[in-house]
Amino acid sequence: VETILKGGEKGPAIIPGNAEASLLYRRVAGLEKPIIPMAPLPPLTQQEIALLKSWIDSVSSPSAKEGGTAKSAPSVAGYNERAIAPEDRQWWSFQKPAPHPIPKVTDPRWETNPIDAFIKYALDQKGLQSAPQADRNTLIRRAYLDLTGLLPSPQEVDDFVHDSSPQAYEKLIERLLASPHYGERWGRFWLDVTRYADSSGYELDFDIANAWRYRDYVIRSFNQDKPYNRFIIEQLAGDELDDRDDDCLIATTYYRIGPRVRYREKDNPYYRYEYLDDTIRTTFQGFMGLSVNCARCHDHKFDPISRMDYYRTMAMLFGNVEYDHKLAPPEKVVEYEKAKKEVEDQIRPLMRRVFEIEAPYRKAAFERRLAKFPEEIQVAVRTPEEKRTPGQKLLAAQIVSPDVGPDAAVNQNVTALYSRQRIKTNDADQAVREKILDQVEALLKRMPAPLPVAEGVRDGDYRLAPDGAGDEPLPGKGNRFNYGIECCFLPQPGQQYRPPPVYFAANGIDVAEDQKSFVVEPGYLQALVNGAPPTSHSPKTGGSSGRRRAMAEWIASPDNPLTARVMVNRIWHWHFGHGIVTTPSNFGKMGAKPSHPELLDWLATEFIRQGWSVKQMSRLIMNSETYKMTSDFSQAANLEKDPANIYLWRFPLRRLEAEAIRDVILSASGRINLQAGGQPFFP
C-alpha cells in the first residue's frame, strides 16, 4: 500500500477515500488513456471496477487516522465529496435493529403479547394509566374498518357480541385477514406510498393505459401475504429475476407511474432526470425512510448522504427504459407478432394507394387554408425549408405539419390509420378509395386480438429510444443532441450490454455540458455500507446489467438497518393513525425519534423472523391489549403528561378517510359495488 500511495512519475496510484481522483481507477475505468489492463489481457468487468472503486473509497489516508476523524477527499471536477466520519454511522436508524429483551411486567393483562410488555413498561416509566379494553361493539367495528374499510352488518355484530368463545376475537381477525377486501384496503395504503395514479399529471395528463395491472398486482400481493422482501425486489427489478413471472413484469410498472410529461421527451432530455429523481425519492423514502433526493444538487444538509451518493444511486437505475411486456408465453408472442405483421404487410400497400389518391386533395385543402393567413406566413411556408430564416422556420412550424405516410402510420397504429371519415374527393376517386378501404376493413378483421400488456421497464439505452408522442421532427423542433451511437435501444442476442454512462451533476438541460463531467460508477450510500457489496446481479438470460436487482436485494436484505424498521413502522401507522416514528418516510436527522425504540427494533427483527409477513404483523398488533384499548378514556394526569397520547395510554382517535366513508354510506344504502380489479373508470 505504501508503494501505491507513493506512486511514480505521474503521482500516486490511488488517493485514499477518492477513487474518482485516483489514477489507477481512472485507467481501469477508461476515464483516462491508455486503459489498463492492455491487450491481450481482457478489460476488467464492471463488477471488478466497482469493487476496486469501493476499496479505494474506503481506504483511509495516514493523516486521517492521526486525529481519529476522516478528512475531506480531494476536489474532483470542482466537487469535494464529504468523507463519512465514524459518528455519521452512529445515527440510531443506521444501526441494525437488535432483538431487545421483552420487559417484565406484573399486570397479567399485559404479559401475553410482547407488544403489550413494551407499551406497559413505557407507560409505567412515564407514570401513565392505561385505558380499559373497548367493548365488543367497538372492537368489531374497529377491526372491520381497519382491515377492510367496511362496517360489519348488524347480524355480524350481534353474533360477535354474543359469542362466548374465548377465541371469538382471534377468529374475527383471521376471517378479516382472509377477506379479499383486506388486499383492497391495505393495497391502497401501499399505492399511496408509491404515488399511484391512472394518469400522468402535468398539462396533458395522459392516461397510463395499463397502470391498473400494477394496482391489481399490489392487491393480490397483500391478499397472498407475499413476503415483503420479495415484494420489494419484484417492483424494483422484477424483469431481472431468473424466476420471473407475469406478476414480476407487472410489478415494474412501479417505474412508469408517478408524474410524467409523456410528450416531446426527445426534445427535453432533462425529463429523464426528473423521472429518475422521482424514482429515487419514491424508492428511498418509501422503502428506507431516507430523503436521498435532497442530495441531488448538493450534499444532504442534515444526513450523511453526499451528492456523489445520489449519482451512484442514479447509476444503479440508469439502464432502465420504458418497455411494454407482453403477458403471454414466448411462443404465443412470436405467433402474435407474426400474424400481426402479415396483416400489416397486406394493409400497407393498400393504404399507400389511398394516400396517393388523396394527395392532390390534401394539397389543395392546405393551399386554401394557407391563403387565410398573413402574407409573411405564406412566404415562410412557400420558401424551401433549407432557405428559411430562423424567423420563417418558426412561422412555418405553426402551419406545416409532417405528412404521416402510410408506412409510418401503419407501424404506429393500423386502426388509427383506417377511417371512413377522410378528406373529400370527386366521385370517381371516391369509388376507387371505397373499394380499397373495403379490402382494408376485411384485412383488419383478421388482425389477432391484442395480447395483454404490462407497462414496465427493462434495461436498454434511452439515447436510442424510438420516437413517442410529440417527437415527430417538425420545423423549428428536433434540436437533439447527437450521442454518436448507433446500436441499440434494446440489447441484442449475444451482445454484451453496457448501461449508458452517468455523468456527475448531469441534469439533461445541456447534454454537451453534462458530458464534460466525469462518469460515476454505480454504488450505495456510503454511510450504510462496509466493504464492497456487488453492484450487479445479472440474470442468467443476459440482456440486463442486473444493477437494479443488486440494489433491490441490498434494500430487501435483513442486514439493511432501515428497511424492516420502516415497514413495521408503516404497519403500526396504518393501524394506530401514527407510527412509532411519526415521520414514516423520514428516519433521518430531520425526522422524529421513535417513541418506543426498543419496541420498534423488536418488531423489525420479528418481522424478518416471521418471513417478512405483513399479515403476521397485523395479527400480532391487533391481538394486543394495546390495540384493544378503548379510545373513550380520559384522565387529567395522563393529559397533562402526554396530551398527544404518544405513549398510547388509550387507543388513538382518528378521522376515517374519505374512501372508507363513501364505502360505508354506499354499503348502508345497498348500492355498493364490491367487484374488484380491472380497468379504471374515467371520472
CA angle 338, 340, 342 (to 5 degrees): 70
Nearest to 143 by CA among 155, 151, 135: 151
pLDDT single digits (tens) 1-47: 567 777 777 778 888 888 888 888 888 888 888 888 887 788 888 77
pLDDT single digits (tens) 111-149: 999 999 999 999 999 999 999 999 999 999 999 999 999
Q: How far apart are CA 514 and CA 512, in angstroms?
A: 5
Judge residue 74's burial from the number of C-beta atoms within 10 Å of its C-beta, 0-12 exposed, 13-18 middle, 19 or more buried: middle
Q: How far apart are CA 543 and CA 286, in angstroms?
A: 28
Nearest to 434 by CA among 357, 362, 366: 357
Q: How far apart are CA 503 and CA 518, in angstroms?
A: 5
Of 65-74, 126-135, 321-330, which range is least confident? 65-74
For residues 462 and 272, is the Cβ–Cβ distance under 8 A? yes
Nearest to 17 by CA among 65, 68, 54, 50: 54
pLDDT single digits (tens) 382-435: 999 889 998 888 888 777 765 545 555 445 455 555 666 688 999 999 999 999
Q: Give me the pLDDT at residue 66, please.
A: 38
Of 48-52, 486-490, 654-658, which range is least confident? 48-52
Query: Quick check: 189 pLDDT over 80?
Result: yes
CA atoms within 13 A on the CB side of 182: 22
Which amino acid, 557? S
pLDDT single digits (tens) 334-393: 999 999 999 999 998 998 898 899 889 988 988 999 999 999 999 999 999 889 998 888
Q: How far apart are CA 28 and CA 14, in angstroms?
A: 12
- List the grid coordinates of 592: 422524529
pLDDT single digits (tens) 48-65: 788 788 788 777 655 444
Q: Give me the pLDDT at residue 402, please.
A: 54
CA atoms within 13 A on the CB side of 618: 25
Q: Is 335 helix (H, G, I), strand (E, B) or coil?
A: helix
C-beta neighbour count of 65 within 10 angstroms = 12
Model confidence at 93, pLDDT cuts 50, 70, 90, reads very high
For residues 613 and 225, is the Cβ–Cβ distance under 8 A? yes
For residues 423 and 361, is the Cβ–Cβ distance under 8 A? yes
Residues facing residue 432 across a β-bridge: none
Query: Quick check: 652 pLDDT over 50?
Result: yes
Q: How far apart are CA 217 and CA 212, in angstroms?
A: 8
Contacts of 37 (CB under 8 A, 6+ apart): 28, 43, 44
Nearest to 37 by CA among 50, 24, 55: 24
Q: Are strands 320-326 and 453-459 parallel, antiparallel or unpaired?
A: antiparallel
Which DSSP letter does residue 469 get?
T
Model confidence at 626, pLDDT cuts 50, 70, 90, reads very high
Q: How far apart are CA 494 and CA 541, in angstroms?
A: 10
Q: Give me the pLDDT at residue 540, please.
A: 87
Q: How far apart are CA 27 and CA 18, in angstroms?
A: 14
Q: How far apart are CA 331 and CA 329, in angstroms?
A: 6
Chain center to CA of 150: 30
Q: How far apart are CA 480 and CA 462, in angstroms?
A: 13
What contacts 24+ positions apart, CB below 8 Å, involve 156-160?
160/136
For residues 100 and 598, is the Cβ–Cβ distance under 8 A? yes
State the angle between helix axes of 168-177 and 136-148 in degrees (0 to 180), rounded to the nearest 10. 20
Nearest to 550 by CA among 506, 518, 293, 560: 560
